[in-house]
Structure 1
Amino acid sequence: MAQHFHAAGSGVFGERDSRRIVELAPAADNAGFITPVQRALIHRRGWLKMLAPRSAGGAELPLPAVVRLEEEIAAIDGSMGWIVTLCAGAGWFAGFMAPSVARDIIKTRRVCVAGSGAPTDYADVDGAGFRINGRWDYASGAPMATHFTLNAVVREHGQVVLDDAGAALIRAFIVPAKNVVVTPSWDSIGLRASASHSYRIDDAWIGAEHGFVIDPVQATSSGPLYRFPFMSLAFVTLSVNLAGMARHFLRLAEPAIARRRHPSTGLPLVDMPAVAARLRRASDELDAARSHFYRLLDGAWEQLAGGALIGDGVAAALRAASLELVRVARLAVDDLYPYCGLYAAHAQSEINRVWRDFHTATQHTLLLP
């Protein structure tokens, strides 16, 4: 079946898609995973292949288009945005894999690559490959994954292999889901439907070609996407999820506040000058942070597409803009939540789900202030 990649521009995807995600989000939150209809939509739109190389069957879309799409999905449902962002990001790794391996993975029916970045266990050199054992945490989208990526400490003859700097050698690997046991462990207050479970691999042998190094110098695809620094990619894609969820919260906060009256004056809270000013300030500051962020991202991409590399200065500016976007989003949500009333504390209300998703996402290590 032909796939259609929907990305940038106003109206990032159709009203029908938006409506369907909105309708299904409460059920997904209650069930602890996105629904079959949501999963079908993700695959039909090709969102999990949008960062994978064209040579492997992916879309290889410009990064600014992908980032805008991820923000728009998160602005409708945090869990779905988180899954698309993390799993599409893992698909980007195909640009660093052996081309034959990348093609085999990306052409998999309903391919979904989940994974974890922390090198919590081991890969032992075994002949022409590695034998992997261990447990890894927080693999968003784990129940739908066809493949899992992981970082592992390399050992040989039982001894940790050291890199050129004398530190433990860590390699990235991709493993078919048939070699993986998903361990239900995700019991967070928010992003429930992301199903970011742990997974275990018991004595699985994989060929050396299933290892890869995420470094522009070692990219196997020549497009500008694979010259974009990994940490910069992580910062920009994660931060826009927070921006999207904050925008969602602000949309819901105003009507929630409008339902309440000041206990002394009896006036609607939303008409109180101080509260109205808080609403305006939250919206204006978030818009300003987003505009600055996208100006930097678009400029970095233009530079990269023109053949230049992203230097340390640009990478540092992208990180700073990403963290500032997260900081402003935090302030906006936390400043307005107390005015939203008990309705916002009700577990089944939409605004409560957005609040829970937002604060769960802020706990990602890279997003620490």
Structure 2
Amino acid sequence: MIGQNTIAEIREHSAMMEESGRLTEKMLEYIYDEGLFKLFLPEALGGSTTPLPEALQTFETAAYADGSFGWLVQIGSGAGFFAATLSPKAVKEFFTARDFFIAGSDRPLGTARKTGSGYIINGTWPYASGALHANLFTATCRVASEDEDDGALYAFAFTPEQVSIEEDWNAFGMKATGSHTIHVSEAVVPAHRRFDVAAPHFYYDHPAYHYPFLPFASANIAATVIGVARHFYEAARKHIESKLASGREADARRHHHTLDILDANESSFMQARRSYYDVVETSWQAHMDGKVLDDEILDAVSDHSKIVAHAAVSGIQQLYRHLGMDMIMEDSPLNRIYRDLLTASQHGLLIDSEGQIEEINTI
């Protein structure tokens, strides 16, 4: 879907997008034209009902073009999952828009007070990727009520005029994602804009909606990391080869050694990438065959998402030390790709927090 000419054009915008902290209008228009925020929406909502393995390839390619671009394509399409959880009234109202994009957070950092026809919401949520161009926001709140819902966690959907954006995304990578903090104060939200991702209704359907959400989300984010890592290896190889072509003969041995390190680490990374896609494809085929996905296969999807992220980061960290002073300059494309990789791979779903995943060289 994203061809080589488009990849080149996206990369022409990369430095500009990083400086401004958001995607350019031209890149957003391309996304809208191609429906890249709607890969997991059914045709009735203007989507393309894309199978999960195919969507992951698209996320990888988008991130291979540019990290922030790929992250937002992945986040935007992943939010299509909410079409199975929001009421049909809210879905029809918001999801059919050409520029449909949801920004928000699943952190339970808000409060919801019941009123006669809905809720009054207050809260603050960080890291709302794409906040500057979202036409709907979602966030999780704890309900304050005198009935059985007291203390329950639900997500709520807000319109842009109900949200204030604090432009505080100061991360050293993925700068163009605009992952700012959002605030909601005394917002009145009708009951039909309350939802629970654990209790889908399936008025609108898509095979991805029946796939368990956590491994689905892990695989989506891992595909983004894979794309950024591929871009880094490509750019690093060109950088080393240019040094060999124009550098002093005395430095040739050092540059050839760096190429050897690149080759070895890229090979391990690509092995992990193949294993990741094999596991996802196996799970998806079983899912489409109507089989119940057991914990073993779902854990494998989550585990291989972590493994491939580990392979990407550890291999490139080792290579980084051999790429010279160009690597440390913030205006260098290599530096930007590196910062994007470390930022994207920091997502909690890709962290082996309990030490359960074996090192990549043992898989």
2:145 alignment counterpart? 156
Residue 183 of structure 1: which of 166, 171, 183 is its match? 166
1:160, distance to aligned residue in structure 2 (A): 9.7
> SS where residue 29 of structure 1 aligns?
helix
Counterparts of residues 1-369 of structure 1 (less than 5 Å): 6=1, 13-157=2-146, 161=149, 168-215=151-198, 218-259=201-242, 266-272=251-257, 275-369=258-352
Alignment-mate amino acid for residue 142 of structure 1: A
Q: Distance in 1 between matches of 2:231 and 2:300?
A: 26
Gaps of 5+ in 2: 353-363
Structure 1 residue 222: Cα displacement: 3.6
Q: CA deviation at 1:331?
A: 1.3
Aligned-residue Cα RMSD (Å) equals: 2.1
CA 1:280 to 1:287, structure 2 compared with 1: closer, same or farther past 3 Å? same
Say if 1:129 and 1:208, in contact at 8 Å, map to a contact too.
yes
Q: Is the 8 A contact 1:216 1:227 kept in 2?
A: no
Distance 1:244 1:316 in 2: 22
For residue 270 of structure 1, what is the amino acid of its counterpart?
Answer: H
Equivalent pairs counted in the alignment come to: 350
Shift of 1:35: 0.8
Report the CA distance between 1:108 and its aligned residue.
2.1
Task: Measure how far apart 1:343 and its partner are.
Answer: 0.8
| Kept after mapping to 2: 8 A contact 1:236/1:322 | yes
Q: Deviations over 1:198-228 (max 9, x none)?
A: 1111111112111122136644334321111
Q: What are structure 1's unaligned runs of at least 5 residues?
A: 1-5, 7-12, 163-167
Q: Is the 8 A contact 1:42 1:48 kept in 2?
A: yes
Q: Deviations over 1:310-347 (max 9, x none)?
A: 22221101011100011100112101111111111111
Identity %: 27
Check the 8 A contact 1:96/1:221 in 2, yes or no: no
Deviation, 1:144, is 0.3
Pair 21,305 (structure 1): closer, same or farther in 2 beyond 3 Å: same
Change in Cα spacing, 1:337 to 1:323, as seen in structure 2 (3 Å) is same
Q: What is the alpha-carbon distance in structure 2 between the residues aligned to residue 109 and residue 259 of structure 1? A: 43
Does the C-alpha gap of structure 1 residues 217 and 139 become closer, same or farther in structure 2, counting only changes over 3 Å? closer
The 3 A distance-change label for structure 1 pair 33 and 84 is: same
TM-score (norm 1): 0.89
Per the alignment, in what secondary structure is the counterpart of residue 266 of structure 1? helix
Normalising to structure 2: TM-score of the pair? 0.91
Q: Would the aligned equivalents of 1:79 and 1:193 in 2 still touch at CA under 8 Å? A: yes
2:49 and 2:194 mapped to 1: Cα distance? 21
Asked whether the equivalents of residues 232 and 318 of structure 1 are also in contact (C-alpha less than 8 Å), the reply is yes
Paired with 1:356 and 1:266, the residues of 2 have a C-alpha distance of 27
Moved more, 179-188 or 13-22: 13-22
Q: Deviations over 1:110-140 (max 9, x none)?
A: 1111111111111111123111111111011
CA distance in 1, matches of 2:33, 2:248: 51
Cα drift, residue 150 of structure 1: 0.8
